[in-house]
Amino acid sequence: MMNGSRPARFRRLPGCALALLLCALPAAAAEWLLAAADHQAVPGRNFELVVVGGAGEDASRWPQRLPATIELPGAGPRIALQLVAIGPVEAGAAQRRYFARWPMEVTGVVRIVLDEHSSARLLVDARADTQRVEPAAVQAEQGLDPLAPVAAVAPDAAPVEPSAIGFHEPMYFLVGGKDPTSARFQFSFRYRIFDAHGVVAEKIPVARGLYFGFTQTSLWDLESESKPFRDSSFRPSLFYRLALDDPDRRGSLALYGGYEHESNGQEDRPSRSIDTLFLRADARLRLDDKGTYLGIAPKLWTYLDREDNPDIARYRGYGELGLRLGRDDGLMFSTLLRRGTAGKMGAQYDLSYPIRRSVFSGVGAFVHVQAYKGYGETLLEYDENKETQFRVGVSLVR
């Protein structure tokens, strides 16, 4: 493929594209190359590139996902990134298009490197710039031949999970409330039990959707003298996740089902725990080309054990409804509603907006306002009706 002379389409590249090519020259020597029609990436949005193999490489046989790494300047941390193939490719072709959701926390000039072909690398300028010009428009203006057709990937497509561990539920730290003033914080993660390209997943593909999840929600009393934790809820779970693609890219749908245990980790009288089997759906309907969407997330469950709190269904019921409206890179409003069999209600409202560019440079963060009203703010006080509690703070995942 490389014979000492540059292909004609590269000879006309301007300075910014030439820098990308120079970065990729080591890959050419190893007969692997990374190229992109646009060297700019927007955090939280999809980024497309082309992987070019050497002589004899049949791109149609390459895996649907290619592991890669983002290298930060100055010997900074390395961030895992999975490249996902775009559409089919003809047999015998030596190149294939891939895309990935660019991480929200990565900005500036960085380098992408293929894990299995370390000499194949590409410089990318990542910046939160919603006014960026589309690659096809830039190429037409400069009279360049496109390196590859531009993929029609929606900006609100489901994020690509970079590794086995990922985000599960919102993570935040909020302060406010009354009687007493308190902090409410939550962190959450999920872990894919079988690697997508591991031995088990290759032989039993259905195993790829099996996850372990964990969420902790705590209420911290900031007003009392010893600053005690009023209550903490620990929720380990084992569940199966099935993601469904919409061929017209009008939205997305993920289905979840499994077992969840919830406990406050206490003994004797303050002890609270339940065990449930649950089904949950997470649907997103795309409303415009800017990424605004409406999200609907109903969840149903049945109790396996509620010995510590036998009447909890009167206050928590057998299901909840989550709603979201907004953009992943803009203002987002969400609510979570529960209704017990005795008509007891609990409602949580969240409003958040990105502040990473102006306050936490290089960190994905959002200013977050939350209101909670009714029953069930903590597992310990599931049967107590609370006045509306307002809190404000920062969220890392929403």
CATH of the domain at 211: 2.40.230.10
Question: Looking at the structure, do residues 173 and 229 belong to the same domain, yes or no?
Answer: yes
Question: Looking at the structure, do residues 133 and 75 belong to the same domain, yes or no?
Answer: yes
Residue 379 lies in a domain: yes
The distance from CA 343 to its chain's CA centroid, rounded to whole angstroms, is 35
Quote the pLDDT of residue 109.
Answer: 85
**Angle at alpha carbon of residue 53, lines to 48 and 54, rounded to 5°:** 155
Question: Looking at the structure, do residues 189 and 74 belong to the same domain, yes or no?
Answer: no
CATH code for the domain in which residue 16 is found: 2.60.40.10
Question: Looking at the structure, do residues 290 and 349 belong to the same domain, yes or no?
Answer: yes
Mean pLDDT of 253-276: 89
pLDDT at 132 over 70: no
Question: Looking at the structure, do residues 187 and 135 belong to the same domain, yes or no?
Answer: no
Mean pLDDT is lowest, of 57-61, 75-79, 186-190, 244-248, for 244-248
Mean pLDDT is lowest, of 30-39, 128-137, 266-275, for 128-137
Question: Looking at the structure, do residues 243 and 388 belong to the same domain, yes or no?
Answer: yes
Residue 155 lies in a domain: no
Quote the pLDDT of residue 300.
Answer: 98
| pLDDT bracket for residue 364 (50, 70, 90) | low
Gap between the Cα atoms of 17 and 130, Å rounded: 21
Mean pLDDT is lowest, of 30-39, 92-101, 202-211, 224-233, for 30-39
Q: How far is CA 231 from CA 52, 218, 270, 328, in A?
A: 55, 6, 9, 31
pLDDT at 391 over 90: yes
Mean pLDDT is lowest, of 157-171, 240-254, 259-273, for 157-171
Per residue in 220-252, pLDDT tens? 999 888 888 889 999 999 999 998 866 566 788
Residue 156 lies in a domain: no
Per residue in 181-190, pLDDT tens? 999 999 999 9
Higher pLDDT, 7 or 239: 239
Domain count, the chain: 2
Question: Looking at the structure, do residues 219 and 364 belong to the same domain, yes or no?
Answer: yes
Gap between the Cα atoms of 192 and 204, Å rounded: 14
Q: Name, in order, each residue with C-beta under 8 angstroms of 267's C-beta and a sequence gap of 6 or more.
A: none
Residue 158 lies in a domain: no
Domain closes at, from 142, 176, 205: 142
Residue 243 lies in a domain: yes
Question: Looking at the structure, do residues 198 and 102 belong to the same domain, yes or no?
Answer: no
**Contact assessment for residue 22 and residue 15, using Cβ atoms and an 8 Å cutoff:** no
Question: Looking at the structure, do residues 200 and 282 belong to the same domain, yes or no?
Answer: yes
Mean pLDDT is lowest, of 11-20, 70-79, 90-99, for 11-20
pLDDT at 361 over 80: no
Residue 55 lies in a domain: yes
User: What is the residue range of 124's domain?
Assistant: 8-142
Question: Looking at the structure, do residues 193 and 333 belong to the same domain, yes or no?
Answer: yes
Question: Looking at the structure, do residues 18 and 108 belong to the same domain, yes or no?
Answer: yes
Question: Looking at the structure, do residues 133 and 169 belong to the same domain, yes or no?
Answer: no
